[in-house]
Every structure is written in structure tokens, then in C-alpha cells.
A = this chain, B = another copy of it.
Amino acid sequence: MHHFTKSAINDMQHIYKINLINSCSGYKSANLIGTKSLDGTSNVAVFSSITHIGSNPALLGFFLRPTTVIRNTYENIKETGYFTINPIHESILKDAHHTSAKYHKSISEFDVTSLEEEYKNDYDVPFVKDAPIQIGMQYVEEYDIKVNQTILLIGEIKDLFIKDNLIDADGFVNLSNGNVACINGLDGYAIPKLKTRLDYQRPKI
């Protein structure tokens, strides 16, 4: 095995380092976050850090980079209090990845890709049309992460839309039935196929 020490990691060339550290801890969720600014410009951006935080209440969170970089998603959520989470599926991989380009806040990524916005219920924030799962989120709270000036932003699920053929009888959402992607590192994508579900485990002794 190759052994990278902490000091070797610190001294690494930037691109090598971000590739290595972003891919060493396993696969990540692949989602598009949809938002809208108060002046009406919609935004959609790929995020790989969306994480389940709790089911009761139903909470999801994600990490944002420091305020020193452009963060349209964060500013829009703070302005309106709402956002959407839309798992990325196979047929939109390239357009979804393109939303990582740094566009000015006045430009909607919906206008420069073939991704289409969709509005449902009373949300004035865009869902991604044809996504197999669409999650309407309300801002709950945020935490400043001291060690690297990132922000953990937490929201609660207000409305959850799921294509019927993904939902099993016990509530399990079969992501592979929707050809949902996962992310390896910064730029690698896979479309996993469910291999097995394992039983609830109890101690043997």
C-alpha cells in the first residue's frame, strides 16, 4: 500500500491533493441544489456533501465553502429560506457536472444547460424537472466549522416527491431503479446497481 503521511499531504501539489482527499473516504451523494435569489434569478449547482442527519424530524445537511468564494447557493438560501435537493440521474450527468462552473449570480445555470426548472406547490424555488426524486427543503440552522471556515447548513424536508417505481413496500427508495448517480472524488461518476439488502442485525452473544 502507498502511505501518505500528514506532512506529505500538506506538501502535495494542489490538484493531486484535492483529488486524493476528495476520493479516499468512499462514494458521495450526487445532488443538484436548486435556489432562487430575491430578485428572481434561479440557480442550480452540483453538491456531493449532502448527508442524512436525522429522520425525526427529517433533516438533511451539506457543507459550503468559506465566504471568501462565490456562493450563490448559500446567499439564495439565506435570502428566501428555501431550497430543493434533486438526486442526479444518468441522463443529465454532463449538464449536472457543468453547474460546477463559476457563473456570476445574475446568470441561471438553467439558461446555459439543458436542465429545466419545475415549480411545484407553494415553492418559489426550482426543482430539477424529470429528476426521479425531488426534495423541497426549508432552512433550519447552520454551523460555522472553525477548523476550515466551511459552513454546515441544515434543512428540513417539507415535501418529498419520488417516482412510484422507486418506492418499496417498506419505504426503502431503490435508487438504482432511478439510475441515480454517485460521485467518486471531484469528477468521477458511477450509476450503481443495488446488490443486496441485509437484515437488521442483533448481537450474536
* Residues in chain A within 8 A of chain B (CB atoms): 1-6, 9-10, 12, 15-31, 48-60, 63, 85, 87-88, 93-94, 97-103, 107, 112, 133-135, 140-141, 143, 145-148, 150, 152, 154, 156-164, 167-168, 170-176, 180-182, 184-185, 187-205
18 inter-chain pairs at a CB distance below 8 angstroms, sorted by A residue, are: A1-B163, A4-B162, A17-B171, A20-B167, A20-B171, A24-B87, A24-B162, A26-B175, A48-B52, A59-B147, A112-B203, A147-B156, A173-B184, A174-B184, A174-B188, A176-B190, A189-B195, A190-B195
A172: contacting residue among B28, B60, B175, B188, CB under 8 A: B188
Q: Do A187 and B199 touch (CB < 8 A)?
A: yes
